[in-house]
């Protein structure tokens, strides 16, 4: 931390009990610059477009200071939906240098957002977010990126293996490759293979992929449907052991791909993968639930009875959480739920999937949970 | 406790009201608290600047003091008190939640959460458990034996009001008798004495440095103007908060409860106790905002984590529910409520 940030922090803590001067003055600054927010990058929404019933595409213009993303990285998107800030990670599906015809001067990023079981976020997006409004972005993160290998080892064949909305990071990478070819940075002619599984009629960006295949001569695209008899085994059969394989899709899909690749002796160190469902802890039957607990940086795995409150459950396991009234009044037992769904016993309401403050004494686990005490 | 009340029905009706209201909470409530924060910041900085312009015209200074005092009141009441209750936690906003928030008064927010959110709101007016009842200094009911020091307790009360933020801050410490080492047998604390002491001095110290050293020093030659201004602004805030809080709890009809009465309490009985332990103050919209909606003390005690911006809305329904169950709903204009408080303090200063 440099001196200035330190000074900012200490002053803000001592004088205003806030994290930084920025967060203290934020409400005032926003009067003048409505887009401004402390500790977040801001991006203006250029368009919100449904690609399909359950897939939404956002085009965003991030503020200048937002660090350029590498193709394949994701961002945490935070939006205010009905007064509540909600955050979800999304892969960027446009290349870092991509410009859009409509907005030639602005750097634009594109996010492809699929409805999932927890529809609150996506349905909220389509209802509350319109062109012109502002959303919050994290810095780009993740190392699921086109390795230096593409540049250093032009002889390595590339295999992209996607399922469903797992296509998003590959769209960014392919656009990136197309640009490099146009600028003659990439001369390699080693083959690039895209294997893309989806349900019949649900492949995304079909036209764009066709266009890309024309711009990248060595690219061949296979759009497959498992129900129609296309199998992973057949699709991966030809994959050379020397190729770099990038996999993106649900966790289960990643496992299947790994299995197939192992079977044809493709070395695991030549694989990169990203699965968008956070590794979900298994659901146990007979009324128990897995909990992953972080306490002062230390992680513990627990199994708690679901008909008990979290506070009681934790105490039975010998974990002492802070508490006061035990009837939901005082908020002493507040803790951060990172992922998972809890039921509020006072209101009967189910929580959202994502990060949220919950009261242990009146919450029950409905799904596996990640908690931070 | 009144045995003729159908506590189960009462609990259901109030629970329903809470659930119904919570389901409406959303963007307007978030916008509301954000707006209050903007006003707080604007009044604070407008005030601090005006204090330094006192040399142009003394009126600037006077307006500055009032502006700073209003900012401190907003920070303490409508923002601090309510945010620390967790009323705005649902917003998921890193700056507006009960875990991180701290306010511009001498009392450490965490300590206040333990004493106020937990003890006071759980054991409202239960003698021996709710330390807010008389703050350990005043005799406000026959539940306590009379002592000679109660003779001049009106003066104690005035002092407490003037130094209210320090009273609040000392509250947790004092009850633990940290400094004297006279720990009460039945009091267990989650925080050990040395930690309590450290918190007390560090938060209090920061507040002192800010108002009585740093900002005056920044004013250079106007050091004294600023120091006096800050002192008066703090004094106004202290008197205001103390008065509002006393009016919410120590009017004539407010009940106290014994520990035995509250054993194995049901949800309905708990609601009933909250209802009889508090009283409201009538007033206009701005008045309610400056009291942090503690002018709706009854609603606040029934639903301590409902966003304050909703208390005005639920009040008529609470009145209706109370009327159906024959529960008294204590409210009145400010002066009437306040005179009742004064009478109570004076009445119990005699045996
Ligand atoms: S212990 Fe008081 S709200 Fe949970």
**Residues B212-240 pLDDT 10s:** 999 999 988 999 999 999 999 999 999 99
A212 and A127 Cβ atoms separated by less than 8 Å: no
Range of lowest pLDDT (A4-13, B102-111, B167-176, B194-203) = B167-176
**Residues B274-332 pLDDT 10s:** 999 999 999 999 999 999 999 999 999 999 999 999 999 999 999 999 999 999 999 99
A39, pLDDT greater than 90: no
Question: Looking at residue B260, what DSSP letter applies?
Answer: G
A368 and A289 Cβ atoms separated by less than 8 Å: yes
Sign of the alpha-carbon torsion through B302, B308, B314, B316:
positive
- CA B116 to ligand 1 center in whole angstroms: 13
- At A22 the three-state DSSP class reads helix
Report the pLDDT averaged over residues B120-147: 87
What confidence score (pLDDT) does residue A148 get? 65
Atom of ligand 1 nearest to the CA of B118: 2
Structure tokens at B71: 């900012």
Scanning the structure block, which residue is given the tokens 């659930």?
B19
Report the pLDDT averaged over residues A229-233: 87
Report the pLDDT averaged over residues A340-366: 88
**Residues B153-175 pLDDT 10s:** 999 999 999 999 998 888 877 76
Q: C-alpha angle with apex B23: B20 to B28, nearest 5 degrees?
A: 120
Contact at CB, A83 and B103, closer than 8 angstroms: no
CA distance B13 to B15: 5
Pocket, ligand 1, Cβ cutoff 6 A:
A 323-326, 328-333, 359, 361
Contact at CB, B109 and A17, closer than 8 angstroms: yes
- CA B94 to ligand 1 center in whole angstroms: 21
Strands A288-295 and A298-305: what pairing?
Answer: antiparallel
Mutate which of A333, A337, A347 for ligand 1? The one with the most ligand atoms within 8 Å of its CB, which is A333
CB pairs under 8 A between A and B: 111
Chain A neighbors of B25, CB-CB under 8 A: 83
B1, pLDDT greater than 60: no
What confidence score (pLDDT) does residue A325 get? 83
Structure tokens at B142: 């026959």
A115, pLDDT greater than 80: no
pLDDT band at B211 (very low <50, low <70, confident <90, very high): very high
- CA B115 to ligand 1 center in whole angstroms: 13
Angle, helix B7-24 to helix B267-277, in steps of 10 degrees: 80
pLDDT band at A94 (very low <50, low <70, confident <90, very high): confident
- CA A310 to ligand 1 center in whole angstroms: 11
% residues pLDDT > 90 (chain A): 26
A22, pLDDT greater than 70: yes
CA distance A236 to A162: 12
Nearest residue, CB atoms, B29 vs list A16, A83, A330: A83
Contact at CB, A331 and B117, closer than 8 angstroms: yes
More reliable by pLDDT, B336 or A189: B336
Rounded to 5 degrees, what are φ and ψ at A275?
-120, 130
Report the pLDDT averaged over residues A206-225: 91
Range of lowest pLDDT (A145-149, A334-338, B142-146) = A145-149
Scanning the structure block, which residue is given the tokens 């450490």?
B108
A163 and A254 Cβ atoms separated by less than 8 Å: no
Chain A neighbors of B92, CB-CB under 8 A: 84-87, 355-357
Residue closest to B135 by CA, chosen among B104, B159, B113: B159
Chain A neighbors of B216, CB-CB under 8 A: none
A117, pLDDT greater than 60: no
CA A334 to chain centre: 26
Chain A neighbors of B22, CB-CB under 8 A: 347
Report the pLDDT averaged over residues B118-127: 89
Angle, helix A3-11 to helix A21-32, in steps of 10 degrees: 90
Give the minimum alpha-carbon distance from B205 to chain A in angstroms, rounded to a whole number.
10
Rounded to the nearest integer, the mean pLDDT of chain A is 85
Predicted complex ipTM exceeds 0.95: no
Contact at CB, A330 and B122, closer than 8 angstroms: yes
Scanning the structure block, which residue is given the tokens 């935070």?
A78
**Residues B230-271 pLDDT 10s:** 999 999 999 999 999 999 999 998 889 988 888 888 999 999
- CA A331 to ligand 1 center in whole angstroms: 5
What confidence score (pLDDT) does residue A128 get? 84
Contact at CB, B94 and A83, closer than 8 angstroms: no
**Residues A235-254 pLDDT 10s:** 888 888 888 899 999 888 99
B185, pLDDT greater than 60: no
Mutate which of A331, A347, A363, A371 for ligand 1? The one with the most ligand atoms within 8 Å of its CB, which is A331
| Residue A40 burial (CB count, 10 A) | 20
For testing the chain B interface, which of A14, A40, A83 should be mutated: the one with the most B CBs within 10 Å? Answer: A83
Chain A neighbors of B210, CB-CB under 8 A: 14-15
pLDDT band at A119 (very low <50, low <70, confident <90, very high): low
Atom of ligand 1 nearest to the CA of A329: 3
Contact at CB, A329 and B103, closer than 8 angstroms: no
DSSP string, A196-233: EE-STT--SSHHHHHHHHHHSTTEEEEEE-GGGT--HH
What confidence score (pLDDT) does residue A279 get? 43
Range of lowest pLDDT (A12-16, A29-33, B228-232) = A29-33
Of all residues in chain B, the one with the smallest CA distance to A85 is B92
**Residues A128-181 pLDDT 10s:** 888 998 899 999 988 888 876 565 556 788 899 999 889 999 999 998 888 888
Atom of ligand 1 nearest to the CA of A325: 2
B325 and B5 Cβ atoms separated by less than 8 Å: yes
Chain B neighbors of A334, CB-CB under 8 A: 86, 89, 98-99
CA distance A201 to B68: 64
Contact at CB, A14 and B210, closer than 8 angstroms: yes
What confidence score (pLDDT) does residue B168 get? 87
DSSP string, A74-136: EEEEEEEETTEEEEEEEEB-S-TT--BTTBTTS--EEEEEE--S-THHHHHHHHH--TT-EEE
Atom of ligand 1 nearest to the CA of A331: 3
Atom of ligand 1 nearest to the CA of A362: 4
A326, pLDDT greater than 90: no
Residue closest to A344 by CA, chosen among A194, B158, A331, B102: A331
Give the minimum alpha-carbon distance from A12 to chain B in angstroms, rounded to a whole number.
11
A281, pLDDT greater than 60: no
Nearest residue, CB atoms, A28 vs list B22, B38, B117: B38
Nearest residue, CB atoms, B95 vs list A26, A28, A329: A26
Atom of ligand 1 nearest to the CA of A323: 1
Range of lowest pLDDT (A5-14, A83-92, A364-373, B182-191) = B182-191
**Residues A188-198 pLDDT 10s:** 678 899 999 99
% residues pLDDT > 90 (chain B): 70
% residues pLDDT > 70 (chain B): 95
Report the pLDDT averaged over residues B78-86: 95
């Amino acid at each position: 931390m440099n001196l200035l940030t330190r000074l900012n922090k200490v002053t803000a803590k001592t004088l205003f009990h806030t994290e930084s001067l920025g967060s203290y003055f934020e409400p005032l600054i926003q009067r003048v610059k409505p887009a401004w927010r402390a500790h977040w990058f801001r991006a203006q929404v250029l368009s919100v477009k449904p690609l399909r019933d359950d897939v939404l595409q956002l085009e965003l213009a991030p503020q200048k200071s937002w660090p350029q993303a590498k193709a394949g990285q994701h961002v945490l998107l935070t939006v205010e939906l009905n007064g509540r800030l909600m955050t979800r990670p999304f892969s960027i599906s446009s290349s870092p240098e991509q410009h859009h015809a409509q907005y030639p001067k602005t750097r634009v990023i594109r996010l492809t957002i699929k409805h999932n079981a927890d529809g609150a976020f996506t349905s909220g997006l389509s209802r509350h977010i319109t062109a012109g409004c502002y959303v919050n972005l994290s810095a780009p993160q993740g190392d699921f990126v086109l390795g230096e290998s593409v540049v250093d080892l032009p002889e390595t064949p590339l295999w992209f293996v996607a399922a469903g909305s797992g296509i998003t990071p590959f769209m960014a990478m392919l656009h990136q490759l197309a640009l490099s070819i146009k600028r003659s940075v990439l001369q390699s002619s080693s083959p690039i293979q895209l294997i893309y599984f989806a349900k019949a009629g649900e492949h995304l960006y079909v036209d764009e992929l066709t266009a890309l295949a024309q711009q990248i001569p060595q690219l061949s695209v296979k759009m497959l449907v498992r129900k129609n008899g296309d199998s992973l085994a057949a699709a991966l059969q030809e994959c050379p052991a020397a190729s770099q394989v990038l996999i993106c899709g649900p966790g289960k899909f990643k496992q299947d791909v790994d299995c197939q690749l192992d079977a044809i002796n493709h070395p695991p160190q030549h694989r990169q993968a990203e699965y968008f469902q956070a590794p979900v802890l298994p659901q146990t039957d007979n009324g128990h639930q897995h909990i992953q607990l972080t306490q002062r940086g230390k992680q513990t795995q627990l199994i708690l009875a679901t008909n008990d409150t979290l506070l009681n459950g934790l105490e039975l396991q010998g974990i002492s959480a802070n508490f006061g009234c035990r009837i939901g009044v005082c908020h002493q037992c507040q803790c951060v739920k990172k992922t998972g769904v809890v039921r509020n016993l006072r209101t009967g309401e189910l929580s959202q999937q994502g990060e949220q403050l919950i009261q242990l004494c009146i919450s029950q686990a409905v799904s596996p949970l990640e908690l931070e005490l | 406790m009144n045995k003729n009340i159908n506590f189960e029905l009462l609990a259901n009706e109030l629970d329903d009201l809470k659930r119904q209201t919570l389901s409406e909470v959303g963007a307007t409530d978030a916008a509301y608290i954000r707006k209050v924060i903007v006003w707080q910041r604007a009044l604070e900085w407008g005030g601090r600047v005006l204090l330094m312009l006192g040399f142009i015209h003394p009126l600037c200074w006077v307006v500055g003091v009032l502006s700073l005092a209003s900012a401190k009141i907003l920070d303490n009441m409508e923002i601090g008190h309510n945010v620390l209750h967790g009323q705005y936690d649902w917003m998921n906003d890193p700056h507006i939640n009960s875990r991180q928030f701290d306010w511009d008064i001498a009392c450490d927010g965490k300590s206040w959460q333990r004493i106020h959110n937990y003890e006071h709101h759980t054991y409202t007016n239960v003698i021996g458990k709710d330390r807010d009842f008389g703050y350990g200094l005043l005799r406000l009911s026959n539940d306590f034996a009379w002592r000679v020091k109660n003779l001049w307790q009106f003066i104690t009360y005035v002092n407490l009001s003037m130094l209210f933020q320090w009273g609040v801050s000392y509250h947790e410490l004092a009850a633990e008798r940290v400094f004297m080492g006279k720990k009460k047998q039945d009091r267990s604390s989650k925080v050990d004495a040395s930690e309590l002491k450290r918190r007390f001095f560090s938060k209090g110290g920061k507040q002192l440095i800010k108002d009585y050293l740093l900002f005056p020093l920044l004013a250079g030659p106007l050091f004294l103007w600023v120091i006096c201004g800050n002192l008066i602004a703090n004094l106004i805030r202290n008197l205001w908060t103390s008065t509002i809080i006393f009016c919410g709890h120590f009017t004539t009809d407010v009940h106290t409860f014994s520990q035995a009465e509250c054993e194995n309490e049901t949800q309905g009985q708990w609601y009933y106790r909250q209802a009889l332990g508090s009283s409201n103050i009538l007033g206009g919209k701005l008045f309610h905002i400056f009291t942090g909606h503690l002018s709706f003390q009854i609603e606040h005690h029934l639903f301590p984590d409902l966003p304050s911006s909703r208390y005005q809305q639920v009040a008529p329904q609470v009145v209706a529910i109370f009327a159906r169950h024959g529960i008294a709903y204590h409210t009145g204009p400010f002066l009437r409520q306040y005179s009742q408080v004064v009478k109570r303090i004076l009445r119990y200063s005699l045996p």
